[in-house]
Amino acid sequence: MTTATNQKAKEAYFTASQGQLIWARFKKQKAAMIAACVLLALILSGMFAPFLSPYDPTVAGRDKDYLNGAPQIPKFCDENGCSMRPFLYTVTRERSLATNFRWVEKINKDERRYMQFFVKGDDYKLFGFIPGNIHLFGMDEGYVHLFGTDSAGKDIFSRTLHAIWTSLQVGTMGVVISFVLALVIGGISGYYGGWLDSVIQMVTDAIRTVPAIPLFMAIAAFIPPEWSAETRFFFISMILGLIGWPTLARRVRTHLLTERNQEYVLAARLCGASPSHIIRRHLLPSFTSYIIVDLVISFPYMVLSETALSFIGLGLKDPVNSLGVMLQNVTKADVLLNYQWYFIPVIFFIALVMAFVFVGDGLRDAADPYSETRK
């Protein structure tokens, strides 16, 4: 019996595709699996941000009676008894001569506002084209701000979810552009070798030597101020991609340089295959897994660059919600001392970067065929 199952397991092992093997090895790593779950949750919450967030993240969804408001956590129980439906109290804020012109909050514990699910709210377009107005949760009256509000009264919870999606989009575009460039340039350089390789490597090294932030800033300074937020957004992702390729190109080249002298390449060449056919059908598949790993690893750096750029004030700007824009908001001393809930998006940012890095490490180990023999 056991030999039969053993046999089956062995057979499954030997007939498994590369993807299945990588997945099997990846599953064994606890840290990477946790990171993958976090990452998936973040990506999904970014993807369905319009549905999950109760309000529009722009000024359209602002709560003008609750500026710089603290987070509101719905409760189930209080001294007046419990309810199945989470509720909040009614809050009245007042600022007048009597309160020395400061906002003073008065919580009315007898007036409960109840949370509703699948409520109709602000209109949105899911994935940019599916129109809808149903939100996962909302209030029967008034607003709910899980993470508080900012100085314009925008809901920070809604903004954070939308920001994750924007940053992921910028990162993806940057990675895709740099990936295509790296593949073409590194591929040519590694496959042909010789003087062409030397020239390309010199240019690559020169580009890697130019410090990126000043380059970003110089290019970003050209963005005409009248460009809309969306155009700006595409331009920034393009810049990120155009500057990020050299590292990946070098890895592709190094790998090709070692692979191109293998017997199977010689065999293909003797059969009369064209260079582009050999690169596409034989060489690239030999290290797809490495490329995927590299992509995952370079992703957080793209997100970080976007944040850095937005932080200096040259990247994305306020109507667009990106993590960089959100981080920019926490740098004021005022915020540090009085409005600590502005920091909540930072936690999401850290989680996103950490998740990517750990998944990248896990994938790297999983894609390495020798990792199993070692342990």
Partner 1 sequence: MFQFARFAATRAVMALITLMIVSLVVFSLMELVPGDCAERYLAYKNTQGSAITLADIEAERVRLGLDRPFLTRWASWLSGAFRGEFGDSCILRVNIAQLLGDKFWISLWICLGSLILAYAIAIPVGIISAASRNALLNNSLRIVSYLGLAMPNFLLALMIMLVSTVYFGETLTGLFSPEYKDAPWSWDKFVDLLSHAWLPIFILGWSATAFALQTVRALMSDEIGKLYVTAAEARGIHGVRLLWRYPARHSLGPIVNSLGFDLNRIFNELPIVALILTLTEAGSLLLESLARSNDQQLAGAIIFLLTASIVTLNFLTDMLLAVIDPRVRKSILR
The residue ranges that bind partner 1 (CB under 8 A) are 30-31, 202-203, 205-215, 217-218, 221-222, 297, 300-301, 304, 307-308, 311-314, 327, 330-331, 336, 346, 349-351, 353-354, 357-358, 360-361, 364-365, 368, 370-371, 373-375
Shortest distance, CB of residue 298 to partner 1, whole angstroms? 10
Nearer to partner 1 (CB atom), residue 68 or residue 247? 247
Nearer to partner 1 (CB atom), residue 183 or residue 351? 351
Shortest distance, CB of residue 221 to partner 1, whole angstroms? 7
Q: What are phi and psi of 104, to 5 degrees?
A: -120, 130
For residues 54-72, b (16+ Cβ closer than 10 Å) or e, as one string? bbbbbeebbbeebebbbeb
Shortest distance, CB of residue 158 to partner 1, whole angstroms? 22
Nearer to partner 1 (CB atom), residue 16 or residue 31? 31
For residues 161 and 52, is the Cβ–Cβ distance under 8 A? Answer: yes
Q: Which residues contact 330 (CB under 8 A, 6 or more apart)?
A: 336, 342, 343, 345, 346
Shortest distance, CB of residue 154 to partner 1, whole angstroms? 21
Give, in order, the Cα–Cα distances in Å from 48 to each of 58, 134, 242.
16, 12, 29
Helix pair 229-259, 288-312: axis angle to 10 deg: 150
Shortest distance, CB of residue 299 to partner 1, whole angstroms? 12
Nearer to partner 1 (CB atom), residue 46 or residue 300? 300
Give, in order, the Cα–Cα distances in Å from 185 to each of 83, 88, 177, 230, 288.
63, 58, 12, 29, 16
SS3 67: coil
Q: 281 is written with which tokens?
A: 């059908």
Shortest distance, CB of residue 167 to partner 1, whole angstroms? 13
Q: How many helices (H) and strands (E) does the chain have?
A: 16, 4
Report how far Cα 286 is from the mean position of its chain's Cα atoms.
Answer: 28
Give, in order, the Cα–Cα distances in Å from 235 to each of 155, 168, 314.
27, 15, 11
**Nearest CA among 137, 134, 128, 147 for reference residue 70:** 147
Nearer to partner 1 (CB atom), residue 151 or residue 331? 331
Shortest distance, CB of residue 102 to partner 1, whole angstroms? 22
Nearer to partner 1 (CB atom), residue 91 or residue 308? 308
**Nearest CA among 158, 133, 146 for reference residue 46:** 158
Q: 250 is written with which tokens?
A: 């070098």
Q: Evaluate the CA torsion angle 30, 36, 42, 45 in order and state its sign.
A: negative
Nearer to partner 1 (CB atom), residue 130 or residue 350? 350
Nearer to partner 1 (CB atom), residue 184 or residue 351? 351
Shortest distance, CB of residue 350 to partner 1, whole angstroms? 4
Nearer to partner 1 (CB atom), residue 29 or residue 72? 29
Nearer to partner 1 (CB atom), residue 245 or residue 301? 301
SS3 138: strand
Q: 84 is written with which tokens?
A: 């199945």
SS3 207: helix
Shortest distance, CB of residue 354 to partner 1, whole angstroms? 5
Shortest distance, CB of residue 361 to partner 1, whole angstroms? 7
